[in-house]
Amino acid sequence: MIDFRYHLVSIVAVFLALAIGIVVGAQALKPGVTNTLSRTAAAEKKAIKSLYAHNQQLKNEILADESFAQAAEPSLLRGLLAGERVVLVVAPNADGGTLDGITKAIQQAGASFAGQVVLTPQFFDTRTANEQALMKTVSQLKPTGISMPHSVPSTQIAGQQQAAEVIAATLATKDGLPTLTPSQSQQILTGFASAGFLQVNGPNGASVLSGQATMAVVIIPGTVPPAATRGPVNLALVSVTQDLQEAGKGAVLAGPLLGSGPHSVIEAVNSGAAGVALTTVDNAETVVGQIIVAQALRELLNPHASPTSYGVRPRTVPSPAPGLVPSPSVSPTPTRKKTKR
């Protein structure tokens, strides 16, 4: 019978030999491996340094472009929207800088700022109780005697669609002539506000709008909504923009890059997934994008204008050329007719 100590000594000897082999092999390979790793590390360090330098160059170019756009903004926008009145319809969690920049741009373009209508998270809640409350509010506030915009019905956002039609008809007018009196418009908006579905921010801190608008900009959330609420939010914002487009002279769906990426409402429109053609701007947090918003509104005033996607993401085109505001034509000086002799 073999002693247990024999087995123990054998096992220890095997592992000791393995350890010695690893140490000896590592020492033999060490110079070559070290040199290879050193060369690889040096190459990677050089590549990273080059990428950092290129990234900084791109940042400098963006800053330079923004500075130029900011300096040129008054000249690029002057008179583009003269005579128009623009309202902003704002989604929850919209970026404040984007709102301020777009407001400034449309005012520099010569438009009157009608104010903001801020939609609350409750507006986008599709649970049964909220849908019923929203439709009840619509039935109580729906104006009579005016043409209502209409989008393709969706069972998922039935209440939001009905509310969007009423809100769009209240906010926008196509020919510049009011379809509702200021008191009627205020009554409808106050009704939605009292029910918790929106908030009205008029110009210069007022609690009422300055009147019906001829054009609208719908501002999307600053970031893409969570998956649980993304679907209804995107569908409702498409419906609101579509109804404002129909009720007035034009509407633009705009937002920052962070909020217009994959699964956002702008991506859904630009990819065709939304099934609706709308004018969009995906970089409206920048001065360049804010100029594009005003230019895009001006483009929609042209006869037979078609919706276009502007910005920097895939399936977009660069900014439209600044539209020319028609100036009064000068009557030609009458020429004297030659008398026949």
pLDDT tens digits in sequence order for the chain, 341 residues long: 556 666 666 777 777 777 777 666 666 555 666 777 778 888 888 888 888 887 777 777 677 767 766 676 878 899 999 999 999 999 999 999 999 999 999 999 999 999 999 999 999 999 999 999 999 999 999 998 888 887 777 888 999 999 999 999 999 998 878 899 999 999 999 999 999 999 999 998 888 999 999 999 999 999 999 998 889 999 999 999 999 999 999 999 999 999 999 999 999 999 999 999 999 999 999 999 999 999 999 999 999 999 999 999 888 887 676 555 544 333 444 444 444 43
Can you state the percent helix, strand and coil of the chain, rounding each to 5? 55, 10, 35
- Cα 281 to the center of its chain, rounded Å: 6
283 within domain boundaries = yes
273 within domain boundaries = yes
DSSP string, 106-154: HHHTT-EEEEEEEE-GGGG--SHHHHHHHHHHHHHH--SSSPPP-----
Same domain? 172 vs 282:
yes
Same domain? 37 vs 107:
no
166 within domain boundaries = yes
Same domain? 125 vs 268:
yes
Ramachandran region, residue 14 (left: φ > 0; alpha: ψ -120 to 50; beta: rest): alpha
162 within domain boundaries = yes
Burial 197-221 (b: 16+ CB within 10 A, else e): bbebbbeeeeebbbbbbbbbbbbbb
Question: What's the pLDDT score for residue 29?
Answer: 55
Same domain? 265 vs 221:
yes
Residues 253, 215: contact at Cβ < 8 Å? no
290 within domain boundaries = yes
Measured CA to CA in angstroms, residue 172 lies from 68, 167, 307, 318 at distances of 34, 9, 18, 28
Total domains, the chain: 2
138 within domain boundaries = yes
Residues 221, 92: contact at Cβ < 8 Å? yes
The two tokens of residue 111 are 């438009």
Question: What's the pLDDT score for residue 150?
Answer: 74
226 lies in which domain range?
Answer: 81-310
CATH number of the domain that residue 114 is part of: 3.40.50
The two tokens of residue 36 are 């290879």
36 within domain boundaries = yes
324 within domain boundaries = no
Same domain? 246 vs 287:
yes
What does residue 285 show for φ and ψ, rounded to 5 degrees?
Answer: -80, -10
* Structural domain ending residue among the three candidates 27, 47, 77: 77
Q: Are strands 198-201 and 309-310 parallel, antiparallel or unpaired?
A: unpaired
* Structural domain ending residue among the three candidates 51, 77, 103: 77
Same domain? 208 vs 89:
yes
The pTM of this model reads 0.79
Question: What's the pLDDT score for residue 105?
Answer: 97
Query: Rounded CA gap, 87 and 117, in Å?
Result: 8
What does residue 319 show for φ and ψ, rounded to 5 degrees?
Answer: -60, 140
Question: What's the pLDDT score for residue 132?
Answer: 95
Question: What's the pLDDT score for residue 264?
Answer: 97
Identity of the amino acid at 119: L
* Structural domain ending residue among the three candidates 42, 77, 112: 77
Question: What's the pLDDT score for residue 340?
Answer: 43
Same domain? 193 vs 209:
yes
Residues 131, 159: contact at Cβ < 8 Å? yes
Question: What's the pLDDT score for residue 333?
Answer: 41
Same domain? 156 vs 224:
yes
Query: Rounded CA gap, 166 and 170, in Å?
Result: 6
Same domain? 29 vs 101:
no
| Residue indicated by tokens 């970026």 | 95
Same domain? 157 vs 139:
yes
Same domain? 109 vs 17:
no
User: Taken in order 30, 35, 37, 41, is the CA torsion positive or negative?
Assistant: positive
Query: Rounded CA gap, 154 and 231, in Å?
Result: 12
Same domain? 33 vs 114:
no
